[in-house]
Each structure stands twice: as C-alpha cells, then as structure tokens.
Amino acid sequence: MALLLPLVWFGPWWSVALAALWTGWVSGPRFVNALQFASAAGVVSAALAFIKDGQNAGLIAPRMSRLFGMTYSPMIFLIVFGVTFVTAFLCFRAGGALSVLYRSRTISEKSVAPN
Amino acid sequence: MTRSGIIAAVLAPILWLLLLSFGVGSIPALGPMLEISGGVWQHQSIQLQDQEIAGLEKDVLVAIDKNGVPHLFADSAADLFLAQGFVTASQRLFQLELNGRQTAGRLTEIFGDRALFYDEFFTRFNMRENARSTLTRYSEDPHIKTMIDAYVAGVNAWIDVMPDVPPEYKILGIYPEKYSALKVINMGKALTWSLAGRSFDPLMTTYLQRLGAEKVLDLFPEFLPDKYEDFVMPGRPKNPHPPENPKMFGFVSGLTDVPKFPLPNPGRGSNNWVVGPDKSTTGTSLMANDTHLSLTLPNTWYENQLSCPEFNVYGASLAAIPGIVLGMNKDIAWGVTNGTTDVLDFFEVEFENETSLRYKWNGGWEDAKVTKEKILLKLFGQKTVEVIETKAGFVLHREGKLGLAADWTGFRSGHELRAVRAQMSAQSAAECIAGWRDWLAPIQNFVCVDQTSVGWIHGGFVPKREPGDGRFIMDGRGAKPLLTTPVERVPQSFNPRQGYLESANQKIAPPGYPDYLGWDYEPPFRGMMIRRALTAKPKLSPVDMMDMQNENFDVQAEMILPTLLRLAAEGADQVWLGRLRKWDYRIRADQPEAAVFKAWWDAVKESLFADELGEGATRLLPKDARVIWMLEKLEANPGEADVRWVDDRNTADQVESLTEIVSGALEKGLKKLEEQQGKNENLWTWTDYNRTQFMHAGRLPGFGSAVLPMNGSTTTVRGQGGMHGAVYKAVVQTGSWPKAWMQVPGGNEGDPFSKNYARFVREWSDGQMREVEFYKDRDEAKARAERVIVLKPGGPR
C-alpha cells in the first residue's frame, strides 16, 4: 500500500496496471494474492480521490456521481475503487500467467539442453 | 495454469485497458478521466491574477465586483477585446469549444456518433461555407476584423497559459483546440439558427396533403378577430395586403416521407417593453427585457462591462463573440426579443432520375453544384457528406426523383457585429434604432431607450413576400425569388403616442399592414398581459417593471377556462371543476390547479385535432387563440362551421359532442397527471408538471440543475417551461447615469466544480434581481470592486 500511494497520487492511471503486472510476475498468479493487491489498489485510489475531492470542497463527487446516473455522491468512490480493482486484478493475473509461461519455457529448455 | 488460461489472463487486461483508454459507445474513457494525478480529481479553481498577455499594447484593468462580473478598462478597443477574450475563456473555455463547433458539423469529434445527426444536417445545409463567407464579409470592415482578431488572440492567450483544462475536457478525453475567427462566426450562426431556423413548412405540407388548403387555412389563419390578437406594432395601418385564400395553393408537393430535421424549438417567452418619460415615475425612459433561450449551465450570456475611449458599456455578451449584445451605455439601453418572422423556406426540386444531380429549372435542366465535406468521427475515420446546391436551395432530402431544398436568410451575410458595435457607442435611441440597419439575421424586435425617447424596430432582413409564400413546401422547378428582397418598410415605431412599446414574440403587424409577414408567431397572451400592466397605471417605476417580469397571471387561462368549465359542467370530475372555478389564474409553483388546467387544455386540443392532423399533431396543433375562438363560437352556436372539427373521426360508430370531448379531455388530463405525479392529487404541483431545469451546455448528465420550483408558464410574462426560460433579465432606468437591475442565472463561472457554478440560479427562480455596478471609470472601479487585477503586455507569443 505504501508503494501504491505515491504511484496513484503522482503517476498516470495505467501505472497501477504496470505495478500489478510486475507484482504478479514476481509473486505468481495466485488468486488470493491478486485479490489482495487489487483490493489495496482500489482502496488507495478511492481514498486519494476522496482526499482530492475534499481539497476541492467536495464539489467534484456529487457531479461525477450524477454523471454516472447515481444520486448518492459517495458512489463515485465506489466506481473509482471498482475500476482500479479490476485493472489491478486483471494485470496481476496477467503478470502471474506470463511468469508461469516464462518459467515453464525456461525449465523445458533446460531439460532438453545437451549435457 | 493451462495454455488457454494463460491466453485469457493476458488478453483480458489488454481489452480492459483498451476500454479504459478509449471508451466504447456511451461509456467514456474512464482511465484518464478518473486518474488521480491528472483526471477530474486533479482540479484547479481558476482565479485570475495579474498576468502578462501576448498582443496587448497597454495595461488592461480588470475589476471584479461582488457578483463576479468583470469590468474591463483599456486604452484601445483592440486591447479591450483581447482582454475580453482572455477573461471569458478563463471561465467559459469549454462553452467556447462547443459554440465554435456546433454549426460547423464538428460535434461528432468530441461526442461521438450521437452528434452525427446534427453534424450531417448542418454540413448538408452548407453552414460551413456560410460561415466562411460571413467571415469574409465581416472582415471587410477593419474595425470588426480587429474586434474579432483581438478576441481570438485573447482566447488563445488563455489556452497558452491556463494552469489546467476544464473538467469537461477530461471527461470527454479531448484537449482545447485553438480558437479562430471562424469559430466566432460559428457561434453567431448557431444562435441565428436557434432563433431563425423555425419552420413548419414540411409539416404544414403534410396537413395540406391530408386536408386540403381550405381546412389548413381555417385551422392556421394569418389573423384572428381582434379579441384574440396582440400586435407589436402600435396603431392601425389601412393598406391591407390581399388575404390568403385556398386558390393560392395549387401546388401540393409530392414529397411524402420528409424526415425530421433538427429544427430549433419554437421560441417560448422573450419579452421586452419600454416606457417613455411621460409614463415613468422617474421622468426618464425605462426599459425591461428578458430573453429566453435554452436553460444551460453555463449560461449562454456572459455579463461584463467593457470600457475604452470609444465606449463604456455594460451588459451581456455571447460567450464566444466579442462585444456586448444586450445592455446599456451611459446614454442608451437596448434589448431584444426574437422576431419569429418566417425566414426559412422549403422547395420541392425535381431531378432527372433517382440518382441524378441534374434538376429541372425553368423548363430546362441545370447541374447541381456539389461539394464534399468531411465529418471527422470521434476516434478514427471520417464521413463524407455531399453538399448539393440548387438554385432553389440546399438539398436536405431525396425521395425518388424529388428532392427537398431549403433556403434561408441566414445564408445572406449582413454586418451583425457592426450593428452590435454601433449600439455600444450610440448616444440616442434614434441612433440605436438606426444602428440595426446592418443587422440581417436573426430578425429581432429591438427596443431602444434614451432619457427622452423610446423606439422599436423589427430589425433584420424581413423578406418581401406574397400572401401565402413560405407556408408550405413550394415548387422549386424555377422558384420565384424568395428571401432575396427585403420589404420597403421595416416595421418600427418611435415615440408612439401611447407612450410605450412592447414585444413578446407575438404577431408583428395588425391587419391593414401592407406587407405579408407570415402566420406563425407565438401566442398573444404574454403581450396582452404586458399591455394590460402597462396601461393599468398612469406611470410606472423600475420596481413596477421588475414586478411585471415576475407576473404569473395567465391570460390564456382567463380567456378559456370559464368556457371549458361551462362546457364540462356535467359528466366530468366535479371536485376538480370546483377547484378550478375558484382558481385565480395565477400559476404558482406549489399548486396543482395550473397543472390540471394545462393538462386539460392540451388534451382538449389533442382530442379535437389529432384525428384530422394525424401523426404530426404531436408537433403542431392549431394555435391556442384559434381554438379558444372556436370553442367560444361553438358554445354560443353549436351548429357553427367549426363543428366539423369536433367529432372524433377515429370512432366511426358514434358522433361526439363538444361537451363529451371537453369532459373526456379533463379525464385524460387528470390521468396524465396521475401517471406523472402519482395518485395522491394533494401532492400534484405545477413544478413537477412544468419541470424547469438547467441542463449542462454539453448535455453532460449531472452537470445541470435540479428541477426548480418556479411560478409562471410559457403563456405568462414570467415564462419558462422545461429547459427553456429567461436566461437574461434586465430593467434599466435611464438618467444622467443609468441604474440597472439584471439577472443572469448561472452567473459567469463555467467550471462545474467551482462553488460559483450555477450561481444566482436560486435567486433567479425566486424572481430576484441584482442591482448592477456600472462604473464610470477606472478610479471608481478600483474603489468599488471586490478585486482588481492588471493584464499587462508581454508573455509568450
């Protein structure tokens, strides 16, 4: 979470995707890990959106919520959470899958290498 | 992990990221939009500071008063308009973006396919070339060229230095495009279209095909008896033109499948009136004006003061156009209502065959001029649109060998900006009236006052027509020249004996006026009420003028409701008949009577005419005053000729009486209200029936206002309905230095995330006005303004 905070605060929106991809690559495609990472990213994004909205006297959330057809202002933070969660989850899983693919290729190459 | 699992795990985020990057259909690009570091959350409220601007020659003082209105003081007109462009763009950049694109057919680029219908129409209607030729004409006048170029430079200077883009850009995933002189013209064209693009010719042609000319003229006459009319022009001229008669309409178009075009909504409520010094408690002339347009946030108008050695003027500008269009200077005040006179004509063109571009003209064949214009789509690609020009107009629709061409006075270039500039420095009402000679379109009822005089002119290109011209789709196989010659006598009046003048989009000239001006104007009720209030007191004060603007007495209800109540005395809902009998015809936001009356009245008209007029009846029923006259005649004499409209032709086995129709309509109206507002009649309100609310200029959901509780309807002086209403209100008292009260709902701020967005909307809905601060000079501005900043020469070029 500590790493995600500056990433989300300063980075472009796709930086979460890159971070998730890399983390997935490192830690493998475990479903629980992906869930944990995506939840953390979603919470961080929603919390930072909430802070930004507060810095703007809370005027952004009501309009953005209604833009999405929701009358209850905080729902926009749920959308931010959801978008970030799905992004992080999918990219984490992709990173994990790629690492599995890479490792299996490496092992098979080693197994057929001449002694 | 299986191979297919790996492929799915890799593909899924790619698709998801593409979706977030570009959006799909109505789903916007959520990735960049919701980004914390640069999306909508990264928002900077703009507060102008001292600033260097490229192109300025000398310092420009910008004094911002407590209402957020900027007062600009410059040493030259060029510096002034540059500063106006800069300051306006700092608050209204996205609106400028929209205004510059609408009639240029460039909305699809930012809104996607949902705007393609409009873009194709305006492109086919040759609005692009029209704007280019108008710019060429405007540029012939060096003062106007300077005015436009300076304003454009100011807008672009803001784009160069702005710290952040407005939120709408982030939501739509676009970046501000450089402003241009053509965009200034495009805004003028958009407004011209919204005010002068009114036409029912294709629909009336459908009625002509269905009913014949005699019946159509009966339902939609040019004039009614005096009791049902109000005219802008005072007096009674005695040189009438020949009346329309069915024999004039031998040609009936064979076009039967004309699509709906994006024609603007009919105007529904602008008012202006002036009283001379003899009728004013102040001893000097007074002017009141409320202009009605779509209720948008931000407002179409931008309130400001412009001062330079040539003029010092306060009022409302159109965001996107330099100068002040409505307002006052130290000597005069002026205001407008839409003139409403028909200036859009349709013609049936005959081509050689279904695909040919050769069309019949005066017995021979001519080649249509075809140009190809491209409409850029939002993400990728473009669409090519053929602009087909014939001598009868631009072809908007083809049906077999026949085509529908349209011609419009908006295609002819006037010098509208020169007319606006003339007002800014005019020193008398006479000079003001004369200044509108350069104005061509849209036709407006301009009123002008100075301390001792009042004047009105139906200003613009008023086409000379024969009776009946422009009522239906006309024969375009050698069309007689229409919309090319103006009338010799533009309707106008100066210091009339009655001491006042008023206009409310109603008919211009009474029977007896020599020129035929058309049949299609707004109902007379607002004009009747204004005239009644103007004559009720020997003298009027500015407060009386403001009270009149808030008048919610419905003359329409006063005229027809007693008749309806008598006709429906039996067999209808007695509770509501009782309540309506006690109603005082005042339309109040929190009461249901007005809603029940309007729903009833709409149902009466629908029941009487939908069977004859068919599908189009939902778009144009006979005018209210015509139906009131009919019901009064039939009540007095049930066998009167109008009885032919009473029976419902859809019920072949029975003949309905007028009483049955009127009683049944009340039930229909009550049912409609029940469906709209629920079964509990005690909770019904006019507010929920009329549903007045502001929408965002770019139609973004949630960026408008809630439904506002407001007195008044489209037939009262205080008029609004749905998303249409008085977007500018002003009362001016002339004098050695004028006093004025105005209201521009929404205020100047266009940033939806600013606390000043939608400012004054509540005050406006409550009917309040603000006394404006009109400063004599820089010293007064510095002393009285809330904040003063200086725009200095310099900055990046």
| Chain B positions in Cβ-Cβ contact with residue A101 (cut-off 8 Å) | 6
* pLDDT confidence of residue B267: 60
The pTM of the full predicted model, rounded to 2 decimals, is 0.94
Average pLDDT across chain B, whole number: 94
Nearest CA-CA partner of A10 in B772, B453, B260, B38: B38
Q: What is the ipTM of this complex?
A: 0.92
Q: pLDDT tens across B664-678, in order?
A: 999 999 999 999 999
By CA distance, what is B3's nearest residue in A? A101
Q: pLDDT tens across B749-761, in order?
A: 999 999 999 999 9
Question: Cα separation of B11 and B339, whole Å?
Answer: 60
- Find out whether B466 and B298 touch, Cβ atoms under 8 Å: no
Measured between CA atoms, how close is B114 to chain A, in angstroms?
17
Q: pLDDT tens across A78-104, in order?
A: 999 999 999 999 999 999 999 988 888
Burial B184-208 (b: 16+ CB within 10 A, else e): bbbbbbbbbbbbbbbbbbbbbbbbb
Residue A113 predicted with pLDDT over 60: no
Interface membership of A105 toward B (CB under 8 Å) = no
At B726, phi and psi to the nearest 5?
-80, 95
At B684, phi and psi to the nearest 5?
-65, 140
The DSSP result for B284-338, as a single string, is S-EEEEEEEEE-EES-SEEEEEEEETTEEEEEEEETTSSS-SEEEESS-EEEEEE
Mutate to test the interface with A, among B15, B36, B40, B44 (most CBs of A within 10 A): B36
The DSSP result for B143-188, as a single string, is HHHHHHHHHHHHHHHHHHH-SS--HHHHHHT--PPPP-HHHHHHHH
Interface membership of B706 toward A (CB under 8 Å) = no
Q: pLDDT tens across B39-79, in order?
A: 999 998 888 999 999 999 999 999 999 999 999 999 999 99
- Residue B503: strand, helix, or coil: strand
Burial B578-597 (b: 16+ CB within 10 A, else e): eebeebebbbbbebbbbbbb
Using the structure block, give the residue that is written with the tokens 């002034």: B80
- Find out whether B484 and B408 touch, Cβ atoms under 8 Å: no
Measured between CA atoms, how close is B6 to chain A, in angstroms?
5
The two three-digit tokens of residue A115, written as one number: 């002694």
Q: Measured between CB atoms, which of A60, A68, A69 is closest to B41?
A: A60
- Find out whether B387 and B373 touch, Cβ atoms under 8 Å: yes
* pLDDT confidence of residue B572: 80
With CB atoms and an 8 Å threshold, state whether B39 touches A93: no
* pLDDT confidence of residue B651: 85
Q: Measured between CB atoms, which of A48, A79, A90 is closest to B36?
A: A48
Interface membership of A25 toward B (CB under 8 Å) = no
* pLDDT confidence of residue B618: 66
With CB atoms and an 8 Å threshold, state whether B40 touches A64: yes
Going through B434-569 in order, the beta strands assigned E by DSSP cover 444-449, 454-459, 474-475, 492-494, 500-503
With CB atoms and an 8 Å threshold, state whether B703 touches A63: yes
Q: How confident is the model at residue A111 (pLDDT cuts 50, 70, 90)?
A: low
The residues, any chain, with a CB within 8 Å of residue B711's CB and separated by 6 or more, are B550, B552, B586, B587, B588, B589, B686, B718, B767
| Chain B positions in Cβ-Cβ contact with residue A82 (cut-off 8 Å) | none
* pLDDT confidence of residue B452: 98
Measured between CA atoms, how close is B707 to chain A, in angstroms?
14
Q: Measured between CB atoms, which of A52, A66, A86 is closest to B36?
A: A52
What distance, in Å, lies between the first and last C-alpha atoms of chain A? 46
Torsion B458-B462-B465-B469 (CA) sign: negative
Q: Measured between CB atoms, which of B12, B13, B36 is closest to A8?
A: B36
* pLDDT confidence of residue B32: 94
What residue ranges of chain B have pLDDT lower than 70? 1, 266-267, 615-618, 796-797
With CB atoms and an 8 Å threshold, state whether A97 touches B45: no
Q: How confident is the model at residue A112 (pLDDT cuts 50, 70, 90)?
A: low
- Find out whether B55 and B150 touch, Cβ atoms under 8 Å: yes
Question: Cα separation of B221 and B224, whole Å?
Answer: 7
With CB atoms and an 8 Å threshold, state whether B36 touches A49: yes
Interface membership of B2 toward A (CB under 8 Å) = no
